[in-house]
Amino acid sequence: MSTTTARIGTQRAGGPTVRAWSVDPYAAALRAGRGPLFLRRADGWLLPLDVERWCAEADAADLEVLRHCEGAVLDVGCGPGRLLTALAAQGRRALGIDVSEAAVARTVRRGGQALHRSVFDPLPGTGRWGTALLLDGNIGIGGDPPALLDRLTHLLAPGGLVLAETVPCPDVDERVLVQVTDARGTPGTPFPWARLGTPGLLRHAHEAGWRDEGHWTADGRCFVALRTGRATGRR
């Protein structure tokens, strides 16, 4: 397990993380519908970002995740909106939020509903969402999975569900500073990010009182369903 501790902020609109995802090269990659695009760790290691898949239609593994959705769905870090398009086609009420204007614009163009907000900003429907999606590594948002899970506890209705994607290496539990880069131009502003395998996510979730509702793999990707133990109350 590698743990590089990064100072975690709440990533309100205008903060460094928001700026990091708001500018090129992420916006340029979304406009083009393709990479190359990476998260660059301080040690130079490049984590490829699957922009082509995010800009395509939801695939079989995505649709399997969406089959678990309950109630109204909040897609946290919705990117260009393939999941929202699929949810809309199923007639399910869903909203995406993303700190990237380019991502929100692309989502809206494909018929999804999305707001240009951080998950840590005040959000509509607080305390009433049935399901929160954290796919494509978005459990990493904020670089502090327990803080993100705590935030979702308050966004979800009592007994609400989180559907999260973890990294396929079980031992990974990593908090790092990264930059978005196309590996050609100057990388963007560093911001905190986390990567978690399924055992690490379950460990954090159990400590915070979440219930394990199952985990599975599809097309080489790993997913976890967690149910909040919160009975009542809103924030």
Nearer Cβ to ligand SAM (193/210): 193
**What is the phi/psi pair of residue 115, to 5°?**
-120, 145
Nearer Cβ to ligand SAM (126/158): 126
Within residues 51-110, the interface with ligand SAM by CB under 6 A covers 54, 76-80, 82-83, 97-100, 103
Task: Count interface residues toward ligand SAM (CB under 6 A).
Answer: 26
**139: CB partners within 8 A, 6+ apart:** 145, 148, 164, 165, 166, 194, 196, 201
Residue 219, SS3 per DSSP: coil
Minimum distance from residue 205 beta carbon to ligand SAM (Å):
19
Where in 73-155 does DSSP place strands (E)?
73-76, 94-97, 114-115, 129-134
Pattern 107-146, ligand SAM, x by CB under 6 A: -----------xxx--------------xxxx--xx----
CA distance 109 to 105: 6
Is residue 181 a contact residue for ligand SAM (CB under 6 A)? no
The single residue among 6, 21, 192, 221 that binds ligand SAM, judged by CB under 6 A, is: 21
Bridge partners of residue 170, in order along the sequence:
none
- With contact defined as beta carbons under 8 Å apart, do 132 and 157 qualify? no
Binding site for ligand SAM (CB under 6 A): 11, 17, 21, 49, 54, 76-80, 82-83, 97-100, 103, 118-120, 135-138, 141-142
